[in-house]
Amino acid sequence: MGISIAKRILTYVLVLFGLSILIFVIARVMPGDVARMALGPRTPEATVEALREEMHLRDPIYTQYFYWLGDIFKGDFGVSIISKRPVLDDIRIYLPATMELVLLSAVFTAFFGIVLGVLSAKYSGKWPDAIIRIFSYFGVVAPAFFWAVLVMLLFAYLIPILPSSGRIGPGLTEPAHVTGMYILDYLLAGNTAGAFDALKHILMPAVVLSFGGISQAARITRTSMTENMMKPYASAERAYGIPENKILFKYLLRPSLNSTISVMALDIAGAFAGAFLVEQIFNYPGLSRYCLQAMLNKDVFAVSAVVMVFGVIFIVMNFVTDIIISVLDPRVRLAARGEA
Amino acid sequence: MKGKHKGYAVSVVLAVMLAMTAGCGNNTASESEGAGADAEQTVAVGAGRITQCVNWPCYIDPAVGSGYADSVSMLNLYDTLTFPNTDGSVSPFVATDWEVSDDSTEYTFHLRDDVYFHSGNPLTASDVKFSMDRLLTIGEGYAYLFVDLIDSVAAVDEHTVLFKLKKPSGTFHSTVIRLYILDEKTVMENIDASGTYGEFGDYGKAWLTTNDAGSGPYKVKEMKTEEYLLMERNADYWGGWEDGAPEQAKVIGGITGANLRTMMSRGEVDISYDAETQETYDALDELDGMTVVRLAMGTNLNLMLNTKLAPTDDIHLRRAMAYAMDYETLGTNIYPKSRTATGPIPSGFKAALDASEFPYSRNLEKAKAELEQSPYREELLSGELPIALTWCTEGGDRQEKFALLVQAGMSELGVKVNITGKPFAAMMTDAQTVETTPNASMVVFAPPSLDVGSVLKARYHSDSCGSWEQMEWLRDAEIDEMIETAVTIPGDAERDAQYAEIARKIVELCPTIWLDLSHPMAYNSDHVVLWPAAEISKTGEPFIYATGYTAYYRDFRLAE
């Protein structure tokens, strides 16, 4: 087990190292002069040249890479050319915003995805299954930005009950920074009005972000559940007279969740990077939108750092998923120990 | 699930839904009411605030920012020696008057003695010197206007400042509208000593990212670098206040499309950005109380023709392109209410040429006649030598439509035009050599100050070749000399006459196809009852605003 974990951690380190090279090169071969982009098109050439020197842009790309890597080990991710702040400060501000959004979206995905999947399996071939299937198809086929515009027009424009932009309303000041996640920070400060306001602001983006995941989770759960419902042990349970709901939720759901959780974890990890359109449309100041702006402005330090953060998140999510699956399914645990 | 548990679950769900519903409702109202539970954490939200969408990011440090959002912020937070008028002239502002030496190399400004910074410190000549020194040392923002011009700055006495120039300038008093005056004492109290500017540390750059050290009509209340800048009135402003002027002004970034429409319909945004699609403006125009205006701000759209690369190095082909252009479609359908330009000087400037002096309008016969005289005629008609045209992707679908219009016009002559969309960053890289600069490049140019000389110098002087500002590669010694001479002439009328002469010469060479852009902006005229720029645009008279000055909020009036 210990060796297995060590191997896995070594793989993760290699993946991150490869990712760092890849993103460093990609960020630098994007068209445009980094220093010129940083200082603006009209800044005198002497000032731009000084920045090129400071950023080692005249050195070969591999030398630049080692400067960058060396700085990272010292905790210095460079200064963003957009915000003019250390990139690490930007990440501290933007990451919790995206984290809050993705976590809420993950809650919706997990809850509705599994519930709809179970219902769909239970009523397989009947009208609830058909409705859920249609919803799932729409959720998968229509992109998040489509839902974003639709939901915004519906709940912010036609029936204006939810705010369409930002993290909190103009009448509120930010909560004291504890986690950076406003709902939680307001609650910790005992400010329920603030927490509600933050919840209202995040509700539409989180729901929209979860649509795709809910649809996928529902379909996968349904498929696994349907398969398991045909297995002999399910028939035996029915023969013993165990109520159908108990069979579904107690005996069939757990073994049916392996695929769902694997896919859901990838969806959630992917949502960190893929939230940029939703964040853009709702003007939500998260890390994905920041990364998009950084790419458009050739903010090389910001792009590199953010992609590395997304890489780490992806790896952590994979690791956590493996643990959850091994807890849920004894076969996986035994296979890891070589006992299966 | 047992019945009791079911009951709990239903209760919890209902309670959450009830609480959500209570927390929803009209957004603006609930925000202040909802915040009432924690009164200390709230700021007033009232009718006295104006909110405008701008491009983002926004840099409020006068030694860093020079974009539209930056300019809007800085001109509201800081004061300047002179203030621009809409006819291209400037008026005394912090400087009550000024003297110019006979050789136009020394400008002495006399300052008001009743101007105070937001900190309470008085504004003195020393602050002016400090602001210019800081701008030149950092070298960013509007420094490019001064870096080749300023020899030294001296505080002669508390209220007199002397600028010595490296070369004569007849328009320096116009250029100083971009010298935003900082409070030296406040900046020095907030420097980071570990910065790279020696005894000045970081020159206050970190602090000034989210704070101001100005004396302007507004001061920073809250700066969220990722979202918005909220400013509040400087109640003690030396220029005073009139009833109805905004109590607070907020510039906000990233609001576009459906979100903009939603927020404007809810009264959360008063003025739109100017880069929306036509469909968005049409939708906004239909909202109650919304008005769409088109502001000419001295910005022109240039189809820059590379005069040193075949086949556009041939003047006859360039003229053929100018005659083949469908200006009416361009100025009505693609850029509605934009004016057909009369040359390189945007309309609104007094030196702009009269329409009667501008020879180019759509005329296919003349275009064909010019093409006949081109030494590249055969290669052009056979398609062997196509014209390469690049449009800027940040310019949106309108630039692409413009490119297609050029392509369609030239196809009527039998000439092939290959069009490519590129990000501005790539265009800047292309502009560095003659060979990599396309035959035709589409670039929007906004004059940084109200000095025509700076426009002509940036656009057509040989010094700007190799930069995005001059992808024509004109390199005409006579024009260079004419520009250098014109900018030293102290008399406005005489100088304008010389500028017009330069414009005629440039028009004759036809290095560019110009369009005077109108910027569409939607605003809530029920709330913003007076927006000077919108009012003047309705008169139909030529006018010009230096970048950002359409948003000098002190002159706005809001409904009660």
pLDDT of amino acid B399? 92
The pair of structure tokens assigned to B153 is 């700055």
Report the DSSP beta bridge partners of residue B122.
B116
Determine, for residues A157 and B209 on separate chains, whether the beta-carbon distance falls below 8 Å: no
More confident residue, B295 or B390: B390
Where in chain B are all domains bearing CATH 3.40.190?
216-289+525-558
Where in chain B are all domains bearing CATH 3.90.76.10?
81-188
Low-confidence spans in chain A with pLDDT less than 70:
1-2, 333-334, 336-340
Res. B46: pLDDT tops 70: no
pLDDT of amino acid B529? 94
pLDDT of amino acid B37? 34
pLDDT of amino acid B275? 79
Interface size A-B, in CB pairs within 8 Å, comes to: 168
How far apart CA B176 and CA A32 sit, in angstroms, is 31
More confident residue, A280 or B386: B386
Please tell me the pTM assigned to this model: 0.82
How far apart CA A16 and CA A290 sit, in angstroms, is 21
CATH class in words for B216-289+525-558? alpha beta
pLDDT of amino acid A339? 54
Q: What is the pLDDT of residues B513-544, one digit of tens each?
A: 998 888 889 999 999 999 999 998 888 777 88
CA torsion through residues B545, B549, B555, B557, sign: positive
Compute, in degrees rounded to 10, the torsion defined by CA atoms B470, B474, B478, B482: -20
What are the structural domains of chain A? 2-73 (no CATH), 87-330 (1.10.3720.10)
CA B157 to chain centre: 35
pLDDT of amino acid B106? 96
pLDDT of amino acid A203? 95
Express as a percent the part of chain B with pLDDT over 70. Answer: 92
Give the right CATH number for B81-188 from 3.40.50.300, 3.40.140.10, 3.40.50.720, 3.90.76.10: 3.90.76.10
Res. B31: pLDDT tops 80: no
pLDDT-derived band of residue B549, with 50, 70 and 90 as boundaries? Answer: very high
Tokens 């907030």 correspond to what residue?
B190
Q: What is the pLDDT of residues B186-222, one digit of tens each?
A: 999 999 999 889 999 999 999 999 999 999 999 999 9
Weakest-pLDDT range from B50-59, B70-79, B379-388: B50-59
Residues of chain B in contact with residue A306, where contact means CB-CB under 8 angstroms, are none
Q: What is the pLDDT of residues B113-149, one digit of tens each?
A: 999 999 999 999 999 999 999 999 999 999 999 998 9
- Is A60 within 8 Å of chain B by CB? no
Asked if residue B236 lies in contact with residue B119, where contact means CB atoms within 8 angstroms, the answer is no
- Of B46, B69, B28, B76, nearest to B228 by C-alpha is B69
Strands B90-92 and B339-340: unpaired
pLDDT of amino acid B36? 34
Q: Which residue of B has its CA nearest to A79?
A: B206
pLDDT of amino acid A336? 63
pLDDT of amino acid A231? 86
CA atoms within 13 A on the CB side of B471: 28
Strands B160-165 and B339-340: unpaired
Res. B9: pLDDT tops 50: no
Res. B21: pLDDT tops 50: no
pLDDT of amino acid B43? 36
Q: What is the pLDDT of residues B150-170, one digit of tens each?
A: 999 999 999 999 999 999 998
Average pLDDT over all residues of chain A = 87
More confident residue, B316 or A7: B316
Q: Which residues lie below 8 Å from residue B398, measured CB to CB, with a gap of 6+? A: B334, B335
Residues 39-58 of A with CB under 8 A from B: 39-44, 46-47, 50
Q: What is the pLDDT of residues B447-485, one digit of tens each?
A: 877 788 889 998 999 989 988 999 999 999 999 999 999
CA A205 to chain centre: 13
Angle at A249 between CA A243 and CA A250, to 5 degrees: 80
Angle at B42 between CA B39 and CA B45, to 5 degrees: 120
pLDDT of amino acid B7? 45
**What is the DSSP secondary-structure string of A218-275?**
HHHHHHHHHHHHTSHHHHHHHHTT--HHHIIIIIIHHHHHHHHHHHHHHHHHHHHHHT
Give the right CATH number for B299-517 from 3.40.366.10, 2.40.40.20, 3.10.105.10, 3.30.750.24: 3.10.105.10
Where in chain B are all domains bearing CATH 3.10.105.10?
299-517
Q: Which residue of A has its CA nearest to B38?
A: A191
More confident residue, B558 or B338: B558
Q: Which residue of A has its CA nearest to B53?
A: A283
How far apart CA A312 and CA B297 sit, in angstroms, is 47
For residue B302, the 8-state DSSP code is E
Residues of chain B in contact with residue A85, where contact means CB-CB under 8 angstroms, are 206, 209, 225
pLDDT of amino acid A338? 61
Res. B77: pLDDT tops 50: yes
